[in-house]
Amino acid sequence: MNHWNRLWKFGSLLLLAYVILRGFSTPLQPGLVEAEPNSLSAGTQDISFVAVGQPFLRPGEGMEAFELILKSGTALLKTELTSVEAHRVSATIEVPTTLPSPALDAYLFTPSAGTLFLGNAFFVEDAEKGPLPSHLTASIPQESEPHLGFSFPYQPNIMESIRNLLWHVPMWFAMFFVMGIGFVASLAQLRTGNVNWDHRAEAAVRTGLVFGILGLITGSLWARWTWGAWWVSDPQLNGALVTVLLYSGYMILRAAMGDDDRVGRLSAVYNVFAFVMLVILLMVLPRYTESLHPGKDGNPGFNSYDLDNSLRAVFYPAVIGWGALCYWIYTLRLRMNRIEYRLLTQ
């Protein structure tokens, strides 16, 4: 029993060490971020792209292995590459006077990083609607499978901040987990009136509150990076904030009651109410309203992140690691509650 206790605690620390090391040292797959200039007009012009992530130019690869194609409607417009650097591609392009669509998407075919895509890279200002002249039409080159080794997927807007997935999401999972323990403990408290269950409920809510606040902070950082603001009015975010406020109310209720005999029963009542609200706020309402937050909009899973295998290999350990750490903190708090109670009643 004792060995097992030590095993899971140190196991959780090991997992978290792995998550932090792997999460911050794994490189990001390359992605196109920006195209210059913003708008094009008919005639021959120079264009260039800025990329982030790992360099897509590997040692021993020449420019001739790359190909850049612009897509207008369904037609493909060819370009002539002039230089390929670690994070920059330049090319010349002949823009015709007639195009199927003035908005151009860019596809960069690379030998080892797969095909990079940038939607609406350019806008051709004076283009007339018409077919693409046949001498400018490109054909689709041979696509290569990406083989960059262990790396995280590139997502537009999210970019390097994808590593936050290993903090933000597991922290909310951990909060749900201990709040669930608290809910069950409060139900048991109401059924039996045993003070032991009250100790469990208090420890669970206190620990869950810490993880909820951490989830809010990491979420706020992420929102600043991807949406441009520390906080936005969004069903998921409102629900998260209200949840944290609700459980702060639980702590205030307990503090206001002091060592009143009824603190266990009253706070258990409040906790049951709060947990039902938590389920409604975080799991029901956001699913039926429009939300910026990923994983919503009818799709409850986190599939919208397109978790690929490299991310899964770190994400699942993160979920287990944070969950176990959270449970560990809960058990410590529970022990404190019991000792305090024993000292008080002696």
The footprint of other proteins (CB under 8 A) covers: 190, 238-239, 241-242, 245-246, 248-249, 252-253, 256-258, 260, 262, 265-266, 268-270, 272-273, 276-277, 280-281, 285, 288-289
CB 259 to other proteins: min, Å = 12
Please, which residues have CB within 8 angstroms of residue 259's CB and are 6 or more apart in sequence? 344
What's the DSSP call for residue 126? T
Q: 140 or 276, CB closer to other proteins? A: 276
Smallest separation (angstroms) from other proteins to the CB of 198: 13
Contact yes or no for 267/201 (Cβ under 8 A):
yes
Whether 49 and 32 have beta carbons less than 8 Å apart is answered as yes
As measured in angstroms, the least distance from the Cβ of 267 to other proteins is 9
Min dist. Cβ of residue 254 to other proteins (A)? 11
Whole-number Å distance between alpha carbons of 118 and 26: 23
CB of 178 to other proteins, least distance (A): 19
Question: Residue 163 or 206: which CB sits closer to other proteins?
Answer: 206
Residue 30 CB partners (closer than 8 Å, separation 6+): 51, 52, 53, 54, 55, 56, 87, 110, 113, 116, 154
CA 166, chain centre distance (Å): 8
Residue among 235 and 294 whose Cβ is closer to other proteins = 235
> In the structure encoding, which two tokens stand for residue 177, read together?
């987990």
CB of 181 to other proteins, least distance (A): 19
Say which residue the tokens 């629900």 belong to.
239
How many helices and strands in the chain, by DSSP H and E?
A: 7, 11
Cβ-based nearer residue to other proteins, 245 or 339: 245
Helix, strand, coil content of the chain in percent (nearest 5):
55, 20, 30
Q: What are the b/e assignments for 143-175, b being 16+ CB within 10 Å?
A: eeebebeebbbbbeebbebbbbbbbbbbbbbbb
Q: Which CB atom, from 97 or from 289, has the smaller least distance to other proteins?
A: 289
As a residue count, the chain comes to 346
**For other proteins, which is the closer residue by CB, 232 or 336?**
232
Closer residue to other proteins in complex, CB, 159/257: 257
Q: CB of 161: closest distance to other proteins in angstroms?
A: 27
- For other proteins, which is the closer residue by CB, 17 or 252? 252
Where are the strands (E) in 125-257, listed by range? 128-129
CB of 218 to other proteins, least distance (A): 21
Cβ-contact 325, 20 below 8 angstroms = no
Q: Are 26 and 314 spatial neighbours (Cβ–Cβ below 8 Å)?
A: yes
Nearer to other proteins, 231 or 316 (CB): 231
Which of 155, 157, 150, 116 lies closest to 305, judged by CA? 155
Q: Which of 11, 333, 326 shows the shortest CA–CA distance to 176?
A: 326
Give least dist CB 213 to other proteins, A: 14
Chain Cα centroid distance, residue 208: 20
